[in-house]
Amino acid sequence: MLEEILNFKQLKTSLKEAILLDYYTAGFCWAKEMTFSLIQLSGFMNLLNFLLENLRDKHLTLGDNLKELGKAMAGIGGTDLERSGDLNSFSIEQAKAIIDYL
C-alpha cells in the first residue's frame, strides 16, 4: 500500500525506491506498535518526511538535522511541522520515544 502512496514505479529495480519504502514502512510499523492515533501517526510520518527532506534537499549535517528535530519536537523554530500542529498531539513520553527511535 505504501508503494502506491509513494508512487513508486520501479521498486523491483530501484535501490533508492526500495530504501525509501523500507524507511517509511519501518517508521509506520513502529508508530503502529506505539498505538499512535491517526493524527499522531500522520504527524510522525510527516516528521520522517521532514527529516529526510532536510538531508536530501537541504543537505543538512546530522548535527543540524538533530537541531531541526529538537525545534520541531519542542514546537519552536517556525518549521512547517510546528505550524501545522501535527506534533502537538504527542505526550512528553511519546516525544521521548520518537527521539529514541530516530
Query: pLDDT tens digits for 6-64?
Result: 767 776 777 888 888 889 999 999 999 999 999 999 999 999 999 999 988 999 998 89
Q: What is the structure's pLDDT at 41?
A: 93
Average pLDDT of 90-98? 88
Closest alpha carbon to 46 in 82, 17, 97: 82
CA distance linking residue 64 with residue 4, whole number of Å: 32
State the burial class of residue 30 (Cβ atoms within 10 Å of its Cβ: 0-12, 13-18, 19+). middle
CA distance linking residue 52 with residue 58, whole number of Å: 9
For the stretch 64-88, pLDDT in tens is 998 888 888 876 334 554 444 567 7
